[in-house]
Amino acid sequence: MCTESNELKEMMLRATLLANLALLKEKMPSLYDFFKDYQPVNTGVVIDENGYENLYNNNQFVYKEQPRNLAKKQVTKFLEKPAYNNYEIRHQSDEDIMFKHAALLKSIYNVRSANTDNKISNPASESQLDFVCFLGGGLGYQIEELFNIKNVLNVFLFEPNKDSFYALLHCVELRPLFEMCTTKGGKFSIRVGGDEHNVVNEISSFLFQQGHFNMSVMYFFKHYDSPLITKIVEKIKAAGHSMHAGWGFFEDEIIGLSHTLANLNAKYPILKKPSLFKNRLQDSPVFVVANGPSLDLTIDFLKENQDNLIIISCGTALKALLVNKIVPDIHVEMERTAGLLDWVNVVERTNDLTIKLKDLNIIALNTVYDEVLKRFKTAYLLPKISDCGGSFIRGLDRKELYTYPDYINPTVSNTGLAIADKLGFKEVYLVGMDFGFISENNHHSKHSIYFDSDFKHKELMKKLMKGDMYVKGNFKDEVLTTYTFDSSRLNIELLLRHSSHLKVFNTSDGAFILNAEPKSVNDIEIQKNIKYKKNMITTLLQEASSLEQSSLSNINNSLTEVRIRTKKILEQLIAITMPHFKTREALVNAFTIQNKILIGLYKSVNCHDVAAYWLIQGTFRYFQTYIISNVYYYDDLNKRADFMNSCIDAFHSHISDIYTEFVENYNKPAKV
């Protein structure tokens, strides 16, 4: 009888496997291709002596009790005391707030803070769990059990071991779980194998597709503990800032568009694709110089060798170089506000400088204030593709001449390296790209504006330069860093991963950068002199850029289309959140629908729709995520509903106000 029972169970395991393979073939073909003929190596599913499905590894059963009973215990424990990460914003002080966007977000916090005890009691007591990361799959019974008790909207399942995942495919039929997510607008995603970096990147992509408001509370269901799973949770919590860094907001995009229009009307050339020109200096060493504190350790080397290498200065590194009589071949700026002019003009205010801005070349993002570019000898534009103005340029680019690099923010260091790449250089040295500091008082080069006696933003810098965490050092075990610096470092790593033709050396005494070989300047040997360097740089910039396709009529026609499409899209999005919401789940559903519309715009082949997307997407993401995040602090459901609807009403008014500002100010100078 026992033998017959086991045979029946084995047949059921086989049937479940085939059903799951059919699902993977339909939904995740790459996983299907890997597992369709898979042969486990060390671990497999078997029927144990008690007649239960079990994992067998190293000549022993993995589960010491019935796996289904263990799953129920784990779910009960999880629901009583869930592991989770919730989304927060570090608000500015009132006197530092310049944008309506930031003021309204802070007012949401103030209302919540005044009306609650500022504690989330137990988010797992909600009837719906919006986003659960199952870390370690086992046989999968805990997933099935949680679905039996709770509505689960989005699932990310990570199983590090291929054998174990193959065993799971025998035990739990995944299609019903998939359908329970998708019928509510959610998603069930699976990752098998990889490290903490792969997992965090995939979760980031998941949130982009499903809506970042799902990270308001992100649950971690650990089936077992392991060093890798611990790393993943720590990495998600530490890198959570990078998942929402760079969203931008409507007001900021209006500034960027107005500057883009001014720069196009000023006829500044736009950088072309590398395939459309030849860089005769491509084999010369390029030093991309940022303003980290370790720049000071490299000053003598740069001064001695500047005739034999190409120097690209980034942002506030410019003054530090010029006061030491080091003249960059190309300067780079990327900040969009008009206030950047004051930071750049420090060069003109510095005594005893023989080199002025009018002697220098600048490459800037299309969003940079045109009054900044006017100060330089020659100015060139690099389109910022994740931007309304950059998308607007792409809409004008009928001949597909221009380059649109990724990973160009959040700091000017990212832009500088992207420019070196797109100009066709092959050997690059990173200088002063510390992305961290040993001391919070020593956060930039001592030769830069930050340490001028009359620097008026010292108190602000003290607030900004507070370390958030430690990361691996380039020449030290670890260095202190901020969330912004760490996001910048991560994007440098992504650029290098996708630009394998670049040979990059990191000379900075700061954070370690993957795929950038650590190298002290004392170990660098410059092989040859660059003849006629100044003239060759001029020729390179002229040949690497174009003035085509920016006629006034084309610009005006495109602007009209962007305004019309933005108005229609906003009306469509706001209509979705017009009803009175009684539950958090209903609001999440509305936000899910809004996000699908935004993703459709992002993927559109119509550049006007893409420009409209970049105008509004950041504001929607911030407010969606922050409203849901704050809702969890309300245990009283009536007060929660009142808070939600008040937030939505305020958001609608904000959108209406900013759209009016867009129509009235798109072609006027920036307000800050």
Instruction: Cis check for the bond before 410: say yes or no (omega within 30 of 0).
Output: yes
DSSP 34-103: HHTT---SSEEEEE-TTS-EEEEETTEES-SS-HHHHHHHHHHHHHHS-EEEE----PPPGGG--SHHHH
Q: Where are the domains of the chain?
A: 2-81+122-244, 268-546, 551-665
CATH number of 268-546: 3.90.1480
3-class SS of residue 546:
strand
Give just the sign of the alpha carbon dihedral 632, 635, 641, 642: negative
The C-alpha atoms of residue 382 and residue 365 are separated, in whole angstroms, by 5
pLDDT of residue 171: 94
The C-alpha atoms of residue 205 and residue 200 are separated, in whole angstroms, by 9
pLDDT of residue 483: 82
Stretch (H or E) spanning 264: helix 250-265
Q: Are 380 and 363 in contact (CB under 8 A)?
A: yes
CATH number of 2-81+122-244: 3.40.50
Low-confidence ranges of the chain (pLDDT < 50): 1
Q: Determine the angle formed by the axes of helices 552-576 and 637-665, rounding to 10 degrees.
A: 170
pLDDT of residue 195: 86
Q: Are 132 and 147 in contact (CB under 8 A)?
A: no
pLDDT of residue 469: 83
Torsion (CA) 4, 9, 10, 11 in degrees, nearest 10: 90
In the chain, the N- to C-terminal Cα span, in Å, equals 81
DSSP 49-62: TTS-EEEEETTEES
The C-alpha atoms of residue 362 and residue 318 are separated, in whole angstroms, by 11
672, with CB counted inside 10 A (0-12, 13-18, 19+), is exposed
Give just the sign of the alpha carbon dihedral 179, 186, 387, 539: negative
pLDDT of residue 1: 42
DSSP 324-380: TT---SEEEE---STTHHHHHTHHHHSTT----GGGSEEEEETTS-HHHHTTSSEEE
Q: Are 360 and 534 in contact (CB under 8 A)?
A: no
3-class SS of residue 525:
coil
Looking at residue 481, what DSSP letter applies?
Answer: E
Provide the residue type at 23 as one letter. L
pLDDT of residue 456: 59
Q: What pTM value is reported for the model? A: 0.87
Q: Are 508 and 431 in contact (CB under 8 A)?
A: yes
